[in-house]
Structures are given as C-alpha cells and as structure tokens.
Amino acid sequence: DGGITQSPKYLFRKEGQNVTLSCEQNLNHDAMYWYRQDPGQGLRLIYYSQIVNDFQKGDIAEGYSVSREKKESFPLTVTSAQKNPTAFYLCASSLSGRTDTQYFGPGTRLTVL
C-alpha cells in the first residue's frame, strides 16, 4: 500500500527530554511537511522540505529540528527548548511543492508529563 506512515501514534515525554517523531512515505514525493495542531486551532507549519538535504522553517520552528537525508523520510525532533510541546503532530507530502495535493499521515499525539 502506498501512503504516509507516522510513528508512534502516542508519545509521552518528560520535561527536558528530546523526542523524535517518525514520518515515512512511499509515494515518491519530493516535498514533505510537518504541522502542529492544537485544539480549536488550524494547522500551523513547523518545517518543510522540497528536496533531499534541504528544508525551510515554517511559522513555528523554534524548539524543533528536522533532517531530510532520504527522500522517503522526514523525522521531526521536539527538543527541550520547545516549552509547550503537547499537541497533535501531522506529517504530509506532495509530489512537488507548487500545485499538487498534499497527503497526510495519521498523526502522532505528543503529551508532556
């Protein structure tokens, strides 16, 4: 099956810990994205990548880091510098960046204990 997978589905983090959220796609898409969703809010862009070994900050990049070493993978690290990380995190991809439909993964819910 082609699609986007995110793992884990639920993640718990202690104060001061870094955690990494996985996002993998087998759609052969060039562009990949990370969004954060809070209750009653729209999606806010954290980082995006249009091509391997390249990525750009979105609107709320502080406290997060990414890498794009492979076309199919775009992991997101939530660092201890992110003061309010509890949220629902969504990964997406598109064939190119400009005019194509974005496809979303099932999401990871991160909770800080």
Chain positions contacting other proteins, by CB under 8 A: 4, 6, 33, 40-45, 48, 50, 58, 88, 90, 92, 97-99, 101-107, 109
Q: Computed over its alpha carbons, how large is the radius of gyration of the chain?
A: 13
Distance of closest approach, residue 109 Cβ to other proteins, in angstroms: 7
Residue at token pair 């870094």? 18
**Bridge pairing between strands 108-112 and 10-13:** parallel
Between 85 and 105, whose beta carbon lies closer to other proteins? 105
The one-character DSSP state at 106 is: -
Distance of closest approach, residue 37 Cβ to other proteins, in angstroms: 9
Cα 74 to its chain centre, rounded Å, is 7
Distance of closest approach, residue 40 Cβ to other proteins, in angstroms: 7
Between 8 and 106, whose beta carbon lies closer to other proteins? 106
Between 82 and 93, whose beta carbon lies closer to other proteins? 93
The side-by-side arrangement of strands in the sheet containing 64-66 is: 4-7, 19-25, 76-78, 64-66
Distance CA 18, CA 24 (A): 20
Distance of closest approach, residue 12 Cβ to other proteins, in angstroms: 16
Between 20 and 56, whose beta carbon lies closer to other proteins? 56
3-state secondary structure of 101: coil
